[in-house]
Each structure stands twice: as C-alpha cells, then as structure tokens.
Structure 1
Amino acid sequence: MESEQSVDLTSDTRPDLREEFRFSPLLTVLCLLVCGAGMGLLFWAVTLSDDVRLASPESRDLERIASRMLGFESRLPELSLLEQVMYRLGGQDGETQEQIQRWYEERVNEQSRPLDGLYLGMIYGEAGLTNQLSRIVENWESERNPYALFREFLEVGYGQSETSSPDYPFLQAGLAEEVPTNWFYFHLARRIAVQAGDRNLQENLQLQEYQLTDPPLWKWRALLVGEVVVIGIGVVLLLRLGIARLRGRASPIQTGFIKRGIPWTFREGIAVLARGGALTILLMGLVAVIPDGIGIIEDFGIALLYLPPVVLTAILLCRTRKQSLLQVVGCSNVWQRLKDCLPLVVMLVTIGLVGDWLIVLGGDAFQSSVHWTEWFVPQLIWGTRMELIKTTVDFVLLAPFFEELIFRGILYTTLRTKFSFPLSMVASGLIFALAHGYGLIAFLTVFWSGLLWAWAYERTGSVIPGMVAHAVNNGVVVYSLVSFFR
C-alpha cells in the first residue's frame, strides 16, 4: 500500500485558527436536543412502533418480494453446490418461507386486502400448517366474493375438498382472473391441476414459472461472480499487505493525522454540526406539513438532509479561514487519489461483504433478521425510467458523497481533534448507524461499514476511499433490487 497518501507528522500539526468562534452554548445545547429528539423519533418509528412501520408500505411491495423470493428459492435444487453455499451465506438458509409468513402475519388484519389473506393461507398450506389454514378458511365462511372464491381455491388446492370436472374450469378461470401472474398463482393453479389430474396444464404452468424466474436467477449469478472476483482480489491484497507488514516493508498506520490542517476546534465542530442537524430536522418538518410536502421530500430529500451541515461547515469554519472543506477532507487531486486508493477500496469492499455475511448469519442464529421494509425501495421497483435513474443517482452517487463528507469528513474529524482514533471511529460509526433508523441487524451492518470507512479515512487522510467503497456497496444493493424485483 505504498501508494496511499502518507502524512508528515513532523510538520506543525495545527493550523493557525486565529480567534475561535464564540457559538452560544445554550443554542448549541438546544440544537443537540432537537437532533436527539429527531433521532429518537426515527428510532421509535422503526423499531418500536409496528403501526408506524407497517402503515406506509403497500401490499403490492410485499407481494412482489414474496413472489420473487419464493420463486427463486424453488429453483435452489437446480443450483450448483457453490451457488447453494453462497445463497446460504447470504442469510437465506431455507428460511425464506418462514420470513414471508411472519411478514404476512403482520399485514393481515381487517384493513388488509383479500389477496394478502389468500397468500398467507397458501404459505400455511405449503408449510403444512393445517390448523392455521383452517382458521383462515373458517373466517371466510360467511364472506361473499372474493373471499368465497378464495376459500374454494384454498380448500381444493390443499386437499380440504375435492373438485368435480364442471367446477375445475371455473376455478382455473377465476384464479387466472383474481391472482396476478406470480409464484402464488403458479403454485395454486398447479395444485388445483393436480387435484383434477390435468398433466398438460401442470407442465405448462411449470414452463411459465421457469420463464418468470430465469432472468432473476441469471442476474443473481452475474452478481455472485462479481462478488467472488472482488473478494478473491481483496483476499490477495490483504495477504500481500499482511506479508509486507511482517517483513517490515509496509508503512505503519499513521495516527494523529486528522489534526493536521483542520481549521476548526472540537467545540466549533460540535456547534456547527448541532446547528446543521437541527436545521435539517426543522426543514424536513416544515416541508412535510405543506401541500405535496412528501413529494418534495422524495424529490429533494438529499438536499434537505445533507446540505445544511455541509454548507454551514464550509462557510463558518472553512471559508472564513481561507480553506476549502473538500481540501480539508482530502478531496484534492481526485484522479490521483482514486488511482492510489483503488487497492484499499477493494479491500474495504471485501472486508465489508464478509462482515455483512457474518452479521446476517449471526442474526439468523438468534432468530433475528432484516425486515423487508428496511431494504425495499419502491421507487426502484415501480418508478418510471426517469425515477429509476434519479433514485439510482441518489443512492450510488449523492448519498455516498454527502454521507462520507458529513459522517467521516466533518463528524469524525471533529471527534478526532479531541479523542483517540478508536473512540472517534466507534462514536462516528454509532451516530452514522443510528441516523439510518434501521433495526438491529441492518444497524450492525451499517455500523460495521462506518468503522471501515473511518479507518480508511484515518489511514489515508482522505474520504475518497470511503466514498468509493460506499458507492460500490450502495450500487450492489440497487443492482440487486432492480434485477430481482423490478
């Protein structure tokens, strides 16, 4: 890693700060309280309130997720041993159906659409949970269409009643009309065809299901090959770095570099971050209550979220001291730094992927998983082509740029002017993960990434390695969602 930027610690480690800005301590405390309240509300909404979490997602989102995931898992026996192992390393150790069952049990209530109840009944039937299936069927005894028709679908499909020849065409026609062409349709239609002894329709349905699941399967294989190649290169680079360190040929990790050239003190940084965070929360709140405010947030959320702290830091703490924020966080000579940091980025992506796998597998061991509402992005699935492009740009370019600038470039830098490297790394990683508002497992994966990108910043003096690794990480997520669910 001789190409990484080294830091001259023999030079003066602190610039001339001239006179320190006198920010009002009372206002800083009030702003911190606003930031804490905003993060607390976000944490509560995501992890403690099922009503808030489940009120916004639409049934079609879960339908698409369940259908594609179950369809993909039905093809597992055809995969090679390596592919099956990699699939299980992703945390799906044959538990997809159990997860989807829990998700549908959360959704099925008096306000849910009839199809949700049909899908849950099918999941019970596929899992052999006859008591639960019987309860759903019994609850529909006095209901009219479509419940009466759905009740007949379940009773015939899962052997609770037999169908006569005159009824069979009616059932298949009703199923094709009421249920979208997805995994649920193919499996229920095939079960009814089995009951009627219609082998031709069984084979035709199997062929149609293969045509539906083939594209996601091949796209997953392409993603798998890419991840294996990157991990292989990353392992080689890590081994080379380890051997070089053992032989004393690699430069040791520099510490204390963050104080070099930073034009603000700890108190100034905290004061500006508090004001920027409070301004962000107030702006989001004001926009949310105006007409079409939610649409404005969806279209310009990146600017509302990230610009206030960045602009305040650039103007109050950098420009007044004739410095550039981008230069302070190591974004000068971008192309040269990109070339120099490429090996480090590959190692970051490798360690990040392996760490994510271990966290997900650990969560499975304790019966904890990532909820679908935490990773599903409706704009990527249902949006127009322009919405898809905009959302992709937001996730892959703008979010990594601004988040690294704020959480590593400003927050970590501020912490590092006062605290040690490990403490600053952990504190900034925790705040970074909390700000995303995820549940436990997703929180841990974000926290892990925050630790890695803070280490890269400490090592190189530049946020560029973290930005690139962050962009790759988000790009993989976007590719996966678009490939499998759009």
Structure 2
Amino acid sequence: MPPARRFALFPTILAALILAGGILMLANVILSTPRLDRVEEKDRALALIVNRTMDLEYAIAQTPAWEHMFYETTTGWADELAQAVAWYEELADVSNEPLTLVYLSVLEGEAGRIDRVRNEIKGWDQLPAPFPVYARLLQAAYLGEMSDEVSIGKAEATALRDELADEVPAGWFADRLAISLATQAGDQAWLSEAQDNLTARGQALLWRARALLAFDLGVIAAGIVLTAILYARRRDTDVLAVGGAAVPPPWSGSVGAVVLIRGGALWIALMIAVLSLGVESVRVVAVPLTYLPLLLLSRRHLLEPVGMGLSEGLGLVPRQSGWGRCWRLVGIVASAGLLGEWAITLAAESSGFSSHWAEGFDESMIWGDPTKLASSLVETIVFAPVFEEIVFRGLFFATLRRRFGFVPSALISAAVFAIAHGYGMLGFVSVLWSGVLWAWVYERSGSVLPGMLAHMVNNAAVCLSVILFLR
C-alpha cells in the first residue's frame, strides 16, 4: 500500500460540515414531512391502490382453499379491508375531496361499522351537491333494512342506479355499493352485473399475481439449486471469483474516509441544486450527475496511487469464466433477497406492522406519460443500482473493512443505505437486508457486478409489479 496521502484540513472540515448538515436536513425532511404529503395526488393515489387491492382480495376469496391459504401463508395477505379503513381514516383527516369521505363510508359499511356510516353522513343532505346524492346512496346501501324482503322499490332503484353511475367512478367502491343496493332492490340483473365487474377485474389482477409469484418461486428454486452446486464445488478456491477487487481495499481507511466525506458533500450540494431547479427532465440524469464527483475523487485518490482504474479496482471487468460465476451469484443473492423479504413481511404482519401505502409511491411510474415512465424506469433500474453499488459497496463498505470485520462493515453501510431511502421501519429492514447481501457478494466475488445486477433485478421486479397492478 502506498503512503497515505495528506489532505488539507480546512476543506475536509468544511466538507464534513456540509455533509453533516445535509444529513440532518434529510433526516428533518423525512421525520417532519407527513407521509401523505409525499404524494401530490393523494386522494387519487389511495383510491387506485384500494380499488386494485380489494379487487384482488375479492378474486383471492374465490380461489380454492389451498390457494387461498398459500397466499395467506407466503405473502402475509391478511385483512385488507381493515387496512384500507385505517388508511382512509388517515386521509379523511386532511382531505377535502367528497369522494374520499364516500369511500371511507363504503369501507366502514362493508366492515359492518354501520354506526360510523350513520355518523359520517349525518347532515350531508343539507350540504351542496354532490353530498345529498352520496347521502342517499349510502343511506340506501347500508342504513336501510337488511332482510330477505325487497326494501327498495323499482323506481327508487332506477334512480339510485343512475345516481351511482353519474357520481361514483367505476371500480370496487361503485360495485360494492351496487351489490348492496341491488340486493335490497331485488334486482338480479344489476347484482349480476356488479359481481361480474368485480370478477373480471379481480381475475385479471389474480393472473398477474400468479405470474409474479411463479417468477419469485422460480428465482428461489434456481437459487437453491445454484447454492447446492456451489456447495458441491466448495473446495474450488475460485468458485465465487468474478473480478479482482480486493476487500479490504488497497487504500487506507483514513484516505477513504476523506474521499467519502468530500464526495458526500459534493453529492449534497449537487442534489440540492438539482432539486431546486424543479425540472422533471433533469430527473433522469440526477443520479449519475450527483455521484460523478465522488467517483472522480475515488479514482484520483484511492485507485490511481496503486495503479488501478475504477474498472479494475471495483472488479467491473470479470476475469476468465467470471460472467458465468457472476450470474450464478446473482441467482443466489436474488433468491436470498426474496426469502428474506418474505420472512420480514410475515414477521411484520404477525406483529401488526405494515408498510404505509405512500412509501415509494412513484406517480410518474403509475400515471405519467411514456416519457416520464421511461425516465423513472431508467433511473430506478439502471442508474440507481449502478451508482449505489459502486458507492455503498465498492467504496463505503470497502473502506469500513479497513478497520472493521465483515458484519459491522456490512451493517453500517447497509444501514446508511437504508436510511437514505427514507422508508418506514419495514422498508428500512428490507433495504438493510438487501444491502448486507450485496456487501457479502461483493466481498466474496471481488466485483460489484453481482450485487449491481441483483440490485437491478430487484428494482425491475418492483417496477414490474407496480406497473402490472397500478398503471
């Protein structure tokens, strides 16, 4: 190892202050900003999520008992109705949208909370339109006499059906109201139409869920097979070798720390500048632009002194037979990631924890135009994995390994990585698990490529599920 380079103290102290200030500012934004405020069109967003979720739950309820049990066991699929009620109660406290109050009342009516429906709609008939219409619909659907006898006349049923079609957008909420109204009116044709609508939408979502679940199970099965193959070849010292990156790295921990501090300060400054522009078109280049100074500093001060470039120093160019080993490791790490996320989800469900619907909600990906969608996909699937793996595993984790063992280094780097995502507790644990896996595969393979590709696969799977279920 070459002698440690001496850096001027003042610029490093200034960079440390900028970095610390940026971290505190980020923490303040994450902690002080209500989760609902992170979504611009929150009423539209939650309506979409709950409509699709309840459609899928309706379809799952129609599946054979073994399949229904399988979903509950492997995905933590629980009482989605209660969760939807809680989310809408939160939204109703800050929303001025009449439909949000209607949707909350429908959910409470479906949950059997009739007194809450009665209290919610009290006085609506005295408010401006469309509240009187909503009051009539909810009154007839949930507060009328529920018996085997017809309690809504034919003329009233026709009027209610027209009002429902005019005032409540098509979807799960409208169909649940229609089912209740048609049942009380004895209108079998209307009832069948609403049930058919629910079935058609739910079945389409169910087949998408089955396809994604089959993909996940295939990845897990492939990972198990690949793990068995590697175990059988465990005596081969190069069985995991992909690149030539050394861990611990050839640079000193002190020099690595200074480079990370200075590069981190530049990242903060550039990120603030990009965000202040408020230009959507800049988003796609924000990730490479903000990480570029740190990469240049790393090449200049960490790798060039030992005669390396970024490609050699981070194992970006596989050695002979490296690509085959790389893809095997990608399969193993992706499989372990899925198993870990399933375990985290099931443990959280059993403990009463769940992710908030607004976490990671990407409006550009869900209802943006093709250009915005493409920008979001490139940022999420390509740029984020490439630059995050180089920085968090190739530089940060590696620098920590100069002083600490694998476990503390992996946990510290993965924790910072998870905190930077700004998720809640469940999201934090999930990202932490992924970060530890990617640190492990970097150290064992001598290359950031397996972690980078596994990161891409993970993000692509998340994007695909969002597009299939919400777009």
CA contact 1:284–1:297 (8 Å) conserved in 2: no
Pick from 252, 257, 271: which aligns with 2:258?
A: 271
Q: Distance in 1 between matches of 2:436 and 2:426?
A: 15
Measured after TM superposition, the shift of residue 110 of structure 1 is 5.5
In the TM superposition, residue 47 of structure 1 has moved relative to its aligned partner by 4.5
Q: TM-score, normalised by structure 1?
A: 0.87
Query: Per-residue CA shift, 1:300-357, capped at 9, x if unaligned?
Result: 3323443332233234433466421121010013895332222221111111111111
Q: Which residue of 1 aligns with 2:412?
A: 427
Q: CA deviation at 1:296?
A: 4.9
The answer to whether 1:288 aligns with 2:272 is no
1:483 aligns with 2:468: yes
Partner residue of 1:5?
none
Among all aligned residue pairs of Structure 1 and Structure 2, give the percentage whose two residues are the same amino acid. Answer: 33
Q: Is 1:97 aligned to residue 81 of structure 2?
A: yes
Give 3-state SS (helix, strand or coil) of 2:358's partner. Answer: helix
Contact 1:47–1:439 under 8 Å retained in 2:
no
**Is the Cα contact below 8 Å between 2:381 and 2:459 reproduced in 1?**
yes
Residue from 216, 220, 225 that aligns with 1:236: 225
State the partner residue of 1:128. Answer: 112
* Aligned counterparts, 1:380-399, within 5 A: 380-399=365-384
- Which amino acid in 2 is paired with 1:468? L
CA contact (8 A) 1:76 1:84 kept: yes
Q: Residues 277-426 of structure 1 correspond to what in structure 2 (within 5 A)?
A: 277-290=264-277, 293=278, 295-296=280-281, 298-319=283-304, 322-333=307-318, 336-426=321-411
TM-score normalised by structure 2 residue count: 0.90
| Relative contact order, higher structure (CA 8 A, sep 6+) | 1
Q: Tell me, what secondary structure is at the counterpart of 2:126?
A: coil
Between the aligned partners of 1:136 and 1:300, the Cα distance in structure 2 is 47
Quickly say closer, same or farther: Cα 1:193–1:270, change in 2 above 3 A. same
1:184: Cα distance to partner? 0.8
Q: What does the per-residue CA deviation read over 1:258-313, in whole Å, with 9 as the maximum and x for residues that have no partner?
A: 656945321222222222222222222233334xx152553433234433322332
For residues 394 and 31 of structure 1, the distance between their equivalents in structure 2, rounded to whole angstroms, comes to: 27
Q: Whole-Å Cα distance in 1 between the matches of residues 176 and 450 of structure 2?
A: 47
Q: Is the 8 A contact 1:46 1:53 kept in 2?
A: no
**What SS does the aligned partner of 1:372 have?**
coil
How far apart, CA to CA, are the structure 1 residues paired with 2:320 and 2:466?
30
- State the shift of 1:232 in Å: 1.3
Q: Which residue of the other structure, out of 47, 60, 64, is the alignment partner of 2:44?
A: 60
Contact in 2 for aligned 1:258/1:417 (Cα 8 Å): no
Q: 1:138 aligns with which of 119, 122, 140?
A: 122
Larger mean Cα displacement after TM superposition, 203-212 or 396-405: 203-212
Farther off after superposition, 72-81 or 463-472: 72-81
Q: Which moved more, 1:95-104 or 1:35-44?
A: 35-44
* Aligned: 1:72 with 2:50: no
Alignment of 1:145-164 (within 5 A): 145-160=129-144, 163-164=152-153
Q: What is the distance in 1 between the residues matched to 2:94 and 2:223? A: 51
SS at match of 2:393: helix
Helix, strand or coil at the partner of 2:154 = coil
Structure 2: gaps (5+ residues) = 146-150
User: Match of 1:446, SS?
Assistant: helix
The answer to whether the 8 A contact 2:35-2:359 is kept is no
The residue type equivalent to 1:184 in the other structure is F
Is the contact between residue 45 and residue 53 of structure 1 (CA under 8 Å) also seen in structure 2? no
Instruction: Give the unaligned 5+ runs of structure 1.
Output: 1-13
Match of 1:171 in 2: 160
Displacement of 1:207 in angstroms is 1.7
